[in-house]
Amino acid sequence: MPSVGTGVSRRLLGRLRDVMAGSGSAEERLNRTVGLIAEGLKADVCSCYVQRAGEVLELFATKGLLASAVHATRLRVGEGLVGLIAAQASPMAFADAQNHPAFAYRPETGEEIYRSLMGVPILRGGRVIGVLVVQNKTQRNYSEEEIETLETVAMVQAELVAGGLVPKEEQIAIDGNALLPLRIEGVRLNAGIAIGTAVIHRSQISVQRLVAEDLETELNRFKGALTAMHNQLDALLNSADMEAGGEHRDVIETYRMFAQDAGWIGRIAEAIQGGLTAEAAVQKVHDDTRARMSQVSDPYIRERLLDFEDLANRLTQHLAGKAGVTQELPDEAILIARTLGPAELLDYDRKKLKGLVLEEGSPTMHVAIIARALDIPVIGRAEGVLTRIEPMDLVIVDGDSNQVFVRPGEDIVAAFRANAVLRAERVAAYAAERDDPVVTIDGTQIGLHINAGLLADLHFMESSGALGIGLYRTEIPFMARHELPDVEAQTQIYGKIYEMAKGKPIVFRTLDVGGDKVLPYWNGAPEENPAMGWRSIRITLDRPAVLRQQLRALIRAAQGRPLSVMFPMISEVSELDKARDLLDRELAREIARGTPKPERLRVGTMLEVPALAFQTDALLKRVDFISVGSNDLVQFLFASDRGNPRLSDRYDTLAPSVLAFLKRLVEACRSKNVPLSLCGEMGGQPVDAMALIGIGFRSLSMHVPSIGPVRRMVRSLELAPFQSYLEEILDRPDRSLRLMLKAYARDHGVDIG
């Protein structure tokens, strides 16, 4: 049978447009459209399935199947070929559908006489809301052009399906949107607490006109809007917010690169040629992209989808003449969104925006990097916030404990406001104490350093009174860019770090990527357990050119100043030897070309893999310092994925086994006079830090906000009696010593906050 041509597609869209604009209920118009689609596509059957509550697909309209099956035939998402199309959110065509293993026969439909089937998901905002199906009695091989035509038609159907077919009360029942106080858990993307009024971010403009009347006019509108959007992004890059440079500028430059993606632009132009308006073409390409990319497990690919979503919304705003128009914010606003593009966040008034809550998100997404640079508390992966939060609701963003409070009671609000006042007072007190020596009551000095990855982190180092940067995460600038930064770009980055550190010591950790930290330009194969897979030093030793370039840039950036380099995820001494050999070769190369030799070169390793602790005799002869990466170390010690919610509270960092392991490491390093520090989350928690000091740590590295509380704890601790107490309880069989240590602090006046 001949395929359906572009001309037929345009005529069909025109007829569907007339039905859409006509009279009758949504279901009556839906019934008329399936008849038109069957006729236009030369099909014996056209059926529309609508997704209802509980992931059920209900037959809502048909031309060709038995009329009695309407509202009677239901399939679960994933059941049958129709359910498979919905589950995978992708079009499918079957010349012999009934012999497909996924086929689910429903006798009430009378479909046994139809052999071939083609179906496409009906998408709204990238989410499946139904399935549009055509069937034929004969065995028919549907063409790519026919599939694309049905996809375009499904976009028109989406307006009907989303426009009132499912009763509103059913949606309310599904969403559970009663106006009661709520506590929603999420993931901290940036720490801090904010209280304010909910503002719902709705960037997507509803596309009213779907079918083009004049293709040339639509193409010209598209080209004009695209040029205007590019000009707007150029202006944003030249704004005052970007003058200082840093990772947030890199993010916007990467975003601008996506806006110039030839494939994305070409697909939109092609959709316009197929008969859609410019707005409808942008929406179709985005819905297709979202449905396709949402099936991909690669976190980088999924996060870049957010950038394309932001671009689609921004381009649609230009087409509608509403570019640059953002909602007026109340004085203290909490922005609620499914997701947010980096440029969208910068559209809002930063003086009024106090917090951000997202249904999606991860710490490496671009908007999270921007938010950290602007010091805005952010909670991500807060499920259902768009359906559970109403505009103008009072919202508390608790970035410290990964929670969002919606319409909280007066007692909770009062507690958080009091806590905010107390926090402000404490921050002021910590700032006033920044020059106080970090010494225990009985005279033991403790070195406190900061962990940094963003330039924004360094702005607060001086005010915290930290001794220096105990861990600079070199991978963060890599993650903000769309391509591997060359030696010159890296030299500029590290030179800026030296400049902002103002002579304080810096420990540069070499590239630590893989696992949950993905770079766009490195395509690694999917791994069952990425935390223990091809990551960190394993990658850079396998790709030594990357490590050599980074080491070269660090030597050049030092400009004769002291340089401390730390290699991460070392599992055996031979890996350290290979990395050190690359460093020595780069150092010799740079000295030969006239680069100033670092005043002092210190080489160290992260200790995260337990196996390395059993090679200390060989290790300690080769390093100038060791830093414990407690986050990975603890999960490896317990064989426990720290991202698994079932295990998140099962094991504690203050378990006797963890402290005993670390104590042996302290003793080994002390015997060889090798400095030892810790740079995981343990170091920034006053109780954990107290225990670490008790077993012999004298240097800790932490996030900037933790410096003040840990300093205060140290200055209120008498170490000798605490060490005696800790020695007594280390052999206990308890799963954790946390409660006992808190009780000790309370009884002995140790300030743990």
Q: Exposed, middle or buried, 589 (CB in 10 Å: 0-12/13-18/19+)?
A: middle
Let me know whether 215 and 119 are in one domain: no
* Residue 176: predicted pLDDT: 39
* Residue 65: predicted pLDDT: 95
Of 125, 155, 174, the residue at which a domain comes to its end is 174
Whether 465 is in a domain gets the answer no
Let me know whether 239 and 161 are in one domain: no
Q: What is the 3-state secondary structure (H, E, C) of 520-544?
A: CCCCCCCCCCHHHCCCCHHHHHHCH
Let me know whether 339 and 398 are in one domain: yes
Is residue 243 pLDDT above 60, yes or no?
no
Let me know whether 235 and 87 are in one domain: no
Query: Half-sphere exposure of 34 toward its Cβ, with a 13 Å CA cutoff?
Result: 28
Q: Strands 447-452 and 92-94, how do they pair? A: unpaired
Residue 334 phi, psi dihedral angles, 5° rounding: -115, 115
Residues spanned by the domain of 386? 182-410
Q: Which two tokens stand for residue 10?
A: 């345009």
Choose from 139-148, 234-243, 297-306, 507-516 the range with maximum mean pLDDT. 139-148
* Residue 172: predicted pLDDT: 37
Let me know whether 295 and 156 are in one domain: no
* Residue 431: predicted pLDDT: 83
Q: What is the 3-state secondary structure (H, E, C) of 134-170?
A: EEECCCCCCCHHHHHHHHHHHHHHHHHHHHHHCCHHH
Is residue 169 pLDDT above 50, yes or no?
no
Neighbours of 639 (CB within 10 A): 9
Whether 427 is in a domain gets the answer no
Is residue 520 pLDDT above 70, yes or no?
no
CATH of the domain at 74: 3.30.450.40
Higher pLDDT, 90 or 208: 90
Is residue 58 pLDDT above 80, yes or no?
yes
Please identify which of the residues 201, 248, 366, 449 carries the catalytic annotation. Answer: 366
Q: Which two tokens stand for residue 136?
A: 């034929």
- Find the mean pLDDT for residues 150-170: 74
Element (H, E) at 415: helix 410-432
The whole-angstrom separation of Cα 386 and Cα 404 is 13
Whether 373 is in a domain gets the answer yes
CATH of the domain at 350: 3.50.30.10
Helices (H) and strands (E) in the chain — how many of each?
A: 28, 22
Whether 457 is in a domain gets the answer no
Let me know whether 155 and 287 are in one domain: no
Is residue 462 pLDDT above 50, yes or no?
yes
Residue 212 phi, psi dihedral angles, 5° rounding: -75, 140
Q: What total number of domains does the chain contain?
A: 2
Is residue 19 pLDDT above 50, yes or no?
yes
Let me know whether 399 and 283 are in one domain: yes
366 has catalytic annotation: yes
Whether 725 is in a domain gets the answer no
Please identify which of the residues 46, 48, 669, 679 carries the catalytic annotation. Answer: 679
CB-based contact 212:218 (threshold 8 Å): yes
Let me know whether 107 and 239 are in one domain: no
Let me know whether 258 and 395 are in one domain: yes
Of 148, 174, 200, the residue at which a domain comes to its end is 174
Tens digits of per-residue pLDDT, 443-452?
999 999 999 8
Whether 733 is in a domain gets the answer no
Whether 59 is in a domain gets the answer yes
Tens digits of per-residue pLDDT, 261-301?
777 888 889 888 888 888 888 888 877 777 665 555 555 55
Is residue 246 pLDDT above 70, yes or no?
no
Let me know whether 289 and 397 are in one domain: yes
The whole-angstrom separation of Cα 91 and Cα 136 is 17
What percentage of residues in the chain have a pLDDT greater than 70?
84
Let me know whether 273 and 244 are in one domain: yes
Under the banding of pLDDT at 50, 70 and 90, the label for residue 166 is low
Is residue 221 pLDDT above 80, yes or no?
yes
Whether 346 is in a domain gets the answer yes
Q: What is the DSSP string of 264-306?
A: HHHHHHHHHHTTB-HHHHHHHHHHHHHHHHTT---HHHHHHHH
Least reliable range by pLDDT among 125-134, 237-246, 409-418, 540-549: 237-246
- Find the mean pLDDT for residues 560-585: 96
Is residue 512 pLDDT above 90, yes or no?
no
The whole-angstrom separation of Cα 203 and Cα 312 is 10
Tens digits of per-residue pLDDT, 615-649?
999 999 999 999 999 988 998 898 877 655 566 56
679 has catalytic annotation: yes
Tens digits of per-residue pLDDT, 644-677?
556 656 788 999 999 999 999 999 999 999 999 9
Of 138, 154, 174, the residue at which a domain comes to its end is 174
Tens digits of per-residue pLDDT, 303-350?
556 667 777 877 888 887 776 555 678 889 999 988 777 667 777 887
* Residue 343: predicted pLDDT: 66
Let me know whether 25 and 153 are in one domain: yes
* Residue 115: predicted pLDDT: 94
Q: Strands 601-607 and 625-628, how do they pair? A: parallel
